[in-house]
Chains A and B, each alone.
Chain A
């Protein structure tokens, strides 16, 4: 009982200190703004702070853009708990996104069969019904991400190549490969991107648009927020359950904490490394799918670029203290900052500066939190 109360106190304490850290991070961000333009700094800072809450539509948009980074954050978190550092979320995310778009675009129309199988009598596959098409997109994205995660996993497990190096390489391979496939399959030449998803290939909103909207003239302007955020939250809970309630999670964390002891206990470490990398790949892949299936008409560009969400995921994971539930909140926080940050350009701040300010805030928070918890652990752990 006594220890229970102590644990609760510890929980409150860590929440409190997280808040302090965030305030400190914001202060630093404000100082950067001050340095660059002292007159506009306050207005700009206030915009960053408040924009996400100004209307329900903005709230919806925060949730919308939080969705993909929550998932990449979860992907990094999952790997981290297993003692692996998944830098490859960018590639897994991109691959998942591409497969989702591909299925969404191609599956919406008749698929003409190539000539060499005409002997079967099958000339074309009819369009796939929308709900199934959406599910297929997500599942396909998960599989693609898992495949992309498996590569560094296999190399680490059976060839002892460090996963950071291999995931950096797979990121670039994914980037160029996808660009090449886009150019040869579903390219929309004019903007040099993939074709846009047909409306019915997007995630359903399930009435969320009635909550997250703002008045505009006689009607409303609605946010594109959709069930993606609910999927992200569900996956976070699932990850939490897997890590903390299952034998699988027990094995994974044992490998992460002490691989020699895991081996001693008869846990097959190589198998777990591969499994873990596949799962975090799948999560990042789903992140890619939800990112593009959100009804904003967002499409993937054919000019090669690494997906920023993959890297933002790293800060989201650490800001969330590599706790799956914490990641939901840190994802929303980061998305909130980005949304508000995008609004300060009109005050004369360049896009680069906006990004600097946001990154400074995020990294400062993550850094201080990490230091704080590690110091806490050190004091707590220090033994003999």
Chain B
């Protein structure tokens, strides 16, 4: 007997069958992982279960009984809750308001906030989901936003919990916390559907795993008795290597020189990047490691021009760029894979082709006396789609908003790598990508390095940091506290630097 059974679900979008006759069986009290490449149809299947999409065919059963879910309200009625890949919180509402939104308790039309607050506080204490009920969503970190999403489900007393790539936006510490919360939840008899691209997470918490490939059902396996290689092969259809071949670095001249860079926070008048100096050479991948919130984002904003630097200098191939417009930086050979793909990286209402020319539309190749050259634009876009295997329903014409999260990310990476930059600033470039795509993107970044680009990589994932960087700078509280060689440093040692327990005097 399954608590939820989705039988032969088919869901079609313009130009693509996102789910093709898929069956998924969830047992009570299990963590069931859903694995598949970017665009395989995982989010779509979960959205069908949550009532956001209506399937073309197939049925859903709860405890052997056929149910029909026409919208999220129905889903809530059947005890199904979902944490979305891109959170759906109201930014100018408080945490508390977001949690009770839609299920407010009222007395003669007046909101009963006190009761709600007591329950939220109680829930957050019980599960160790620390949140500030009165903070505005716009002011809290993604980690906390996710806790709010989880509390939303708990508040509704959902018993079937869907997590769509919850770990993609979390720091390693937060991931650990989430994993133990998930285990606690199933111990209480809840059942969890868990989407992730990280096989080790599946190994750690999941009982069974269902694999999808290009919209089709591949199989369901028992996690304990199946090794990681088998699962990834099921998902991609070929063997994937987890480490990348990297030729030794052949360092060239200094590409970027950062000296005494200080960035003051917009919120308070303290410096979040404090007197930072370092170099990036041509043919070198320098990685900025650190726990989220130690000034990495602000450092990147200052280098790329999203926010101004307060003092200090940045030069790119000898040209001072700290105070020039973003367009000029881009012309000087700076490419940027931004941290927040929906906020900075894409114009979601433009189609894919338009997004792929976002930093090039004004060049003679794509424009003639102010008129866009459509045939050039679309053939360029088709070329990048092919080269980077960006999957979507309608190719260049796909509305970017409708693309799967991982394919949106691939589009950004494709666009930035295609600039042949002198310096590539890549923030979490593989966030949300499947292992095949990660392998490919890593190769591309290494290729860029071989071709003489300097790369500044910001990553929270230590695996990525260790695998592809040539040099690691650790940031702690706005300062660089270590400059180490990945071949000579251990995970444990990095951890010490990152937590501020150890620091070196770093000189340029």
* Residues A246 and B370 in contact, CB atoms below 8 Å apart: yes
* Residues B47 and A382 in contact, CB atoms below 8 Å apart: yes
* Residues B359 and A265 in contact, CB atoms below 8 Å apart: yes
* Residues B53 and A382 in contact, CB atoms below 8 Å apart: yes
* Residues B401 and A6 in contact, CB atoms below 8 Å apart: no
B338 within 8 A of A: yes
Partner of B86, one of A265, A266, A384: A384
- Of chain A, the residue at the smallest CB distance from B164 is A384
* Residues A3 and B15 in contact, CB atoms below 8 Å apart: yes
* Residues A381 and B401 in contact, CB atoms below 8 Å apart: yes
Q: How many residues of B contact A (CB 8 A)?
A: 45
- Of chain B, the residue at the smallest CB distance from A254 is B347
A27 within 8 A of B: no
CA–CA, A251 and B361, complex, Å: 9
> A258 to chain B: which residues have CB within 8 Å?
343, 346-349
> B358 to chain A: which residues have CB within 8 Å?
254, 261, 264-265
* Residues B361 and A250 in contact, CB atoms below 8 Å apart: yes
CA–CA, A383 and B401, complex, Å: 7
> A157 to chain B: which residues have CB within 8 Å?
none
Chain A residues 247 to 268 lying within 8 A of chain B, measured CB to CB, are: 247-248, 250-251, 253-254, 257-258, 260-268
Q: A6-B14, A381-B402, A384-B85 are in contact. Are A261 and B345 (CB under 8 A)?
A: yes
CA–CA, A254 and B327, complex, Å: 15
- Of chain B, the residue at the smallest CB distance from A249 is B372
* Residues B330 and A266 in contact, CB atoms below 8 Å apart: yes
* Residues B347 and A262 in contact, CB atoms below 8 Å apart: yes
* Residues B359 and A382 in contact, CB atoms below 8 Å apart: no
Q: A2-B15, A264-B306 are in contact. Are A257 and B349 (CB under 8 A)?
A: yes
B367 within 8 A of A: yes
* Residues A247 and B361 in contact, CB atoms below 8 Å apart: yes
> A159 to chain B: which residues have CB within 8 Å?
none
Bin chain A's interface residue count.
20 to 34
* Residues A3 and B399 in contact, CB atoms below 8 Å apart: no
- Of chain B, the residue at the smallest CB distance from A261 is B347
- Of chain A, the residue at the smallest CB distance from B405 is A384
A380 within 8 A of B: yes
B362 within 8 A of A: yes
* Residues B405 and A263 in contact, CB atoms below 8 Å apart: no
CA–CA, A176 and B358, complex, Å: 44
Partner of A245, one of B84, B164, B343, B372: B372
- Of chain A, the residue at the smallest CB distance from B326 is A266
* Residues A247 and B370 in contact, CB atoms below 8 Å apart: yes
Q: What mask results when residues 335 to 359 of chain B are scored 1 for a CB within 8 Å of chain A, else 0? A: 0101000011111111000100011
> B404 to chain A: which residues have CB within 8 Å?
384
> B43 to chain A: which residues have CB within 8 Å?
383-384
CA–CA, A115 and B298, complex, Å: 64
- Of chain A, the residue at the smallest CB distance from B354 is A250
> B293 to chain A: which residues have CB within 8 Å?
none
> B491 to chain A: which residues have CB within 8 Å?
none
A-B contact count (CB 8 A): 92
- Of chain B, the residue at the smallest CB distance from A378 is B52
> A267 to chain B: which residues have CB within 8 Å?
327
CA–CA, A291 and B130, complex, Å: 63
- Of chain A, the residue at the smallest CB distance from B43 is A384
Chain B residues 57 to 88 lying within 8 A of chain A, measured CB to CB, are: 84-86
CA–CA, A185 and B254, complex, Å: 69
> B306 to chain A: which residues have CB within 8 Å?
263-264
> A253 to chain B: which residues have CB within 8 Å?
350
- Of chain B, the residue at the smallest CB distance from A379 is B53
Chain A residues 20 to 77 lying within 8 A of chain B, measured CB to CB, are: none
* Residues B343 and A260 in contact, CB atoms below 8 Å apart: yes
Q: A263-B326, A266-B327, A380-B402 are in contact. Are A257 and B348 (CB under 8 A)?
A: yes
B397 within 8 A of A: yes
CA–CA, A2 and B325, complex, Å: 43
- Of chain B, the residue at the smallest CB distance from A248 is B370
How many whole Å from B195's CB to the nearest CB in chain A?
Answer: 10
- Of chain B, the residue at the smallest CB distance from A242 is B370
Q: A257-B350, A258-B348, A382-B53 are in contact. Are A264 and B401 (CB under 8 A)?
A: no
Q: A246-B370, A246-B371 are in contact. Are A264 and B326 (CB under 8 A)?
A: yes
B376 within 8 A of A: no
Chain A residues 313 to 360 lying within 8 A of chain B, measured CB to CB, are: none
> A248 to chain B: which residues have CB within 8 Å?
370
> B327 to chain A: which residues have CB within 8 Å?
266-268
B394 within 8 A of A: yes
CA–CA, A6 and B371, complex, Å: 27
Chain B residues 315 to 331 lying within 8 A of chain A, measured CB to CB, are: 325-330
Q: What mask results when residues 368 to 384 of chain A are scored 1 for a CB within 8 Å of chain B, else 0? A: 00000000000011111
Q: Can you list 17 A-B contacts with CB-CB less than 8 angstroms, sorted by A residue number?
A: A247-B361, A247-B372, A248-B370, A254-B358, A258-B349, A261-B346, A264-B326, A264-B358, A266-B325, A266-B327, A266-B330, A383-B43, A383-B85, A383-B401, A383-B402, A383-B403, A384-B404
Q: Given A264-B326, A383-B402, A383-B405, 17 more contacts at CB 8 Å? A: A3-B14, A247-B362, A247-B371, A257-B347, A261-B358, A262-B347, A266-B359, A267-B327, A380-B399, A381-B348, A381-B401, A382-B53, A383-B401, A384-B47, A384-B84, A384-B404, A384-B405
Please provide the 3 A-B residue pairs with the shortest distance between their CB atoms, ordered closest to farther. A266-B327, A384-B85, A266-B326
